[in-house]
Amino acid sequence: MNKLNNMKKSTKVDFATYLGVIIAFIVITVLMNNGTLGRKQVGLLVPACCYVVMAVSLNLTVGILGELSLGHAGFMSVGAFSGVIAAMSLAEAIPFEPLRLAIAMVAGAVCAGIAGVIVGVPVLRLRGDYLAIVTLAFGEIIKDLINCLIVGHDSEGLHIIFNFKGLKTVDDLGLLPGGNVIIKGAQGATGTDTIASFTAGVVLILITLFVVLNLIHSRTGRAVMAIRDNRIAAESVGINITKYKLIAFVTSATLAGAAGALYGLNYSSLQATKFNFNTSILVLVFVVLGGLGNIWGSIVAAIVLYVLPEALRSVADLRMLVYAIVLILVMLATNSPKMKAVLSRVIPRKKGDEVNE
Amino acid sequence: MSKKFEKPNMVPVPSHSIIPDRDVGKSPILECNHLGIDFGGLRAVDDFNLTVGRTEIAGLIGPNGAGKTTVFNLLTKVYQPTRGTILLDGIDTAGKSTIQINRMGIARTFQNIRLFSNLTVEDNVKIGLHNQEVYSTFSGIFRLPKYWKKEKVAHERALELLSIFDMQDMAAMKAGSLPYGAQRRLEIVRALATNPSLLLLDEPAAGMNPSETAELMENIVKIRDMFQIAVLLIEHDMSLVMSICEGICVLNFGQVIAKGTAEEIQANPAVIEAYLGKKKEA
């Protein structure tokens, strides 16, 4: 087809990204089936998928929209707990696990999206440091709110109470016999069915890539990047700043919510404190080291930086030292002109190619 | 010679006097009546009256700090005027936002270039086409037929617009890596992409050498003839202003001190005083 020959450089990079994810999936599945991967390694797969989705979605806010958000784990948290509630309350109605997982992820995505709108509408009027501070606060508030949450499910439906004063217990839910408690306040979600699977994780990564990459290369994505590059000029050509900022921010939150749901359903017990400031920063590190606005970079960085500390558990004492050294080396390498020159010879990078096109 | 311009010297010129003959009888594209803005106690622009004809190339000149760019910012509603009205094609623009003003038909360039420098030249123009080739975010993500159709049109239109300045070969380059003159031209193309009826150019020839300026002059006239639009430009390069502007308005200390054709302006004692009284260049 003519289209293939005239394909833009960016489109080629996109296809390579999809292809890379699919190849990685096939290779890992084969390794899993012939027993090369131990139980320990297999256990890392789903969280790694979640962090990849987190990194790609945060890249939409930080790299493409150009706004620093330090509360991305907050959206993951909203998605995780709403996903767990959805999955657990539908346990009897829908016994088929993949479908239940899909519904849980959609529920997580929708709830996180709504949280994204609620946070985004006032917050996106702020710029730079202020936006970072407010999103940071949002992440902490969500954590504390979920710590107060007690949720149970019985034949009558969902029972939700907020334990603001710390006086209420699970008994206050008034569950009928046969009902089960889903979230127990600060103890978090316990007894969750671990229905998350690696396949679902890869499907979620592919969906995320599809949404984010198509968004970037559409009219909407161009408007978002225009706002990032020059807000005043974007306004002067008639781009509605608030609208496009919100679209990017909410899309990012929605995808983080889906990742959260998958993450939540991978563990039988999950506390809200898991999604603290450190998690937000961790994801931000993936994005920054992978390259702002560089989607496949985020994927690689998320996988390497998530798997590396786990792989180094055997040398537990030196673990964080090696991790820190790797971070520093990556930063030095990506900033040194010599290294860039070497890299550009090995991999023909964007700049040179685009000029020749 | 006193630095400050004295009012009695002002030459009274009726505001319609700079409309070229072919536009007389048609309603003007832009009418500013008693426009003014204060920044605190400072009257940055006061009692600014200007009428620009349908297909006129008008010039706005004046010494540094006279308030020329402020007038542009008032016209595009970057600042809301303190006093006075702006009529665009007979419609009052009071209370409108910058975005709405652009949709109503005013496009502008900036004195200090404001391109989307990390994006390609083509994407910069496509961003200008944002409100021309419209499809929803949903169609964009799911690549519905409307996406392909509109993107194709946008691509062709972008190249067509770039070809005005012979820039179609640079379409895939990053806007930030373009040479200075090309960046200025790209800004004009991006502004044209929004399908304006009035184009505001803020010092389009700044930093250009004489041959580039000569080419720019030809292109401004060409754009006017091609698109049948009005152009209002701020410029310090007098050769450009005097040769292509049909009507010229001179600002000093936020006030209009003269209006008229190039010959009238050059002979106007108030203008000479405003320029020569301050600085050697004229």
Within this chain, do residues B170 and B255 fall inside the same structural domain, yes or no?
Answer: no
Last residue of a domain, one of B176, B194, B212: B194
User: What local confidence, expressed as pLDDT, does residue A324 receive?
Assistant: 82
Within this chain, do residues B203 and B176 fall inside the same structural domain, yes or no?
Answer: no
The yes-or-no verdict on residue B10 having pLDDT over 50 is no
pLDDT > 70: percent of chain A: 94
User: What local confidence, expressed as pLDDT, does residue B140 receive?
Assistant: 92
Residue to test with chain A: of B137, B161, B168, most A Cβ within 10 A: B137
A36 — pLDDT class (breaks 50, 70, 90): confident
User: What local confidence, expressed as pLDDT, does residue A129 receive?
Assistant: 83
CA distances (Å), A196 to each of A47, A101, A189, in order? 10, 7, 15
Within this chain, do residues B165 and B222 fall inside the same structural domain, yes or no?
Answer: no
- Residue in B closest to A229 by C-alpha: B116
User: What local confidence, expressed as pLDDT, does residue B5 receive?
Assistant: 40
Last residue of a domain, one of B194, B218, B253: B194
What CATH number does the domain containing A8 carry?
A: 1.10.3470
Q: Looking at the partner chain, which of A215, A218, A229 has a beta carbon nearest the beta carbon of B119?
A: A229
Residue to test with chain B: of A64, A209, A218, most B Cβ within 10 A: A218
Q: Which of A72, A69, A55, A101 minimizes the C-alpha distance to A208?
A: A55
Last residue of a domain, one of B140, B160, B194: B194
Q: How close A42 gets to chain B, by Cα (Å)?
A: 32
Contacts of A226 in chain B (CB under 8 A): 116, 119, 127, 130
Within this chain, do residues B172 and B53 fall inside the same structural domain, yes or no?
Answer: no
Instruction: Provide the ipTM.
Output: 0.86
Alpha-carbon gap, residue A134 to A189, rounded angstroms = 27
Mean pLDDT estimate for chain A? 87
Tokens at residue B243, please?
């040769």
Q: Which of B255, B218, B261, B264 minimizes the C-alpha distance to B36?
A: B255
Alpha-carbon gap, residue A14 to A214, rounded angstroms = 9
Choose between B185 and A4: higher pLDDT. Answer: B185
Contact yes or no for A355/B173 (Cβ under 8 A): yes
B3 — pLDDT class (breaks 50, 70, 90): very low
Within this chain, do residues B26 and B144 fall inside the same structural domain, yes or no?
Answer: no
Within this chain, do residues B128 and B96 fall inside the same structural domain, yes or no?
Answer: no
Domain housing B164: 118-194
User: What local confidence, expressed as pLDDT, does residue B2 receive?
Assistant: 40
Alpha-carbon gap, residue B230 to B239, rounded angstroms = 20
Contact yes or no for B138/A257 (Cβ under 8 A): no
Choose between B272 and A102: higher pLDDT. Answer: A102
What CATH number does the domain containing B61 carry?
A: 3.40.50.300
User: What local confidence, expressed as pLDDT, does residue A347 receive?
Assistant: 57
User: What local confidence, expressed as pLDDT, does residue A191 receive?
Assistant: 83
Kind and range of the H or E element at B245?
A: none
Choose between B282 and B132: higher pLDDT. Answer: B132
Choose between B10 and A271: higher pLDDT. Answer: A271
Q: How many domains does one find in chain B?
A: 2
User: What local confidence, expressed as pLDDT, does residue B16 receive?
Assistant: 43
A351 — pLDDT class (breaks 50, 70, 90): very low
DSSP string, A168-193: --GGGG-PPTT-EEEEEGGG-B-S--
Does the distance separating the beta carbons of B99 and A239 come in below 8 Å?
A: yes
The yes-or-no verdict on residue B15 having pLDDT over 50 is no
Tokens at residue A93, please?
């109605």
User: What local confidence, expressed as pLDDT, does residue B203 receive?
Assistant: 92
Contacts of A219 in chain B (CB under 8 A): 126, 130, 133-135, 137, 140, 150-151, 154
Q: How many domains does one find in chain A?
A: 1
Q: Would B110 be classed as within a structural domain?
A: no
A12 — pLDDT class (breaks 50, 70, 90): confident
User: What local confidence, expressed as pLDDT, does residue A202 receive?
Assistant: 96
Domain housing A282: 2-356
Tally the C-alpha atoms within 13 A of residue A268's C-alpha that lie toward its C-beta: 1
Within this chain, do residues B18 and B91 fall inside the same structural domain, yes or no?
Answer: yes
* Rounded average pLDDT over A283-296: 89
What is the CA B7 to chain-centroid distance, rounded? 28
Residue to test with chain A: of B109, B118, B189, B194, most A Cβ within 10 A: B118
* Rounded average pLDDT over A145-169: 84
Within this chain, do residues B202 and B275 fall inside the same structural domain, yes or no?
Answer: yes
Within this chain, do residues B84 and B205 fall inside the same structural domain, yes or no?
Answer: yes
Contacts of B76 in chain A (CB under 8 A): 236
Within this chain, do residues B24 and B76 fall inside the same structural domain, yes or no?
Answer: yes
Within this chain, do residues B96 and B179 fall inside the same structural domain, yes or no?
Answer: no
pLDDT > 70: percent of chain B: 89
Does the distance separating the beta carbons of A225 and B126 come in below 8 Å?
A: no
Q: Tens digit of pLDDT for each residue in A300-340?
A: 999 988 888 887 777 777 777 877 887 788 778 777 777 77
User: What local confidence, expressed as pLDDT, does residue B274 receive?
Assistant: 83
Does the distance separating the beta carbons of B102 and A219 come in below 8 Å?
A: no
CA distances (Å), A326 to each of A50, A65, A174, A289, B54, in order? 22, 28, 52, 11, 64
User: What local confidence, expressed as pLDDT, does residue B18 receive?
Assistant: 55
Q: List the helix and strand counts (H, then E) for chain B.
A: 10, 10
CB-CB neighbours of B2 under 10 Å: 7
Q: Tens digit of pLDDT for each residue in B201-235?
A: 999 998 888 998 999 999 999 999 999 999 999 99
Q: Tens digit of pLDDT for each residue in A166-185?
A: 777 778 887 877 788 888 88
Q: Tens digit of pLDDT for each residue in B77-127?
A: 999 999 999 999 989 999 999 999 999 999 999 999 999 999 999 999 999
What is the CA A29 to chain-centroid distance, rounded? 22
Alpha-carbon gap, residue B69 to B201, rounded angstroms = 10
Kind and range of the H or E element at B51?
A: strand B42-52
Beta pairing partners, B231: B57, B199
Contacts of A220 in chain B (CB under 8 A): 137, 140
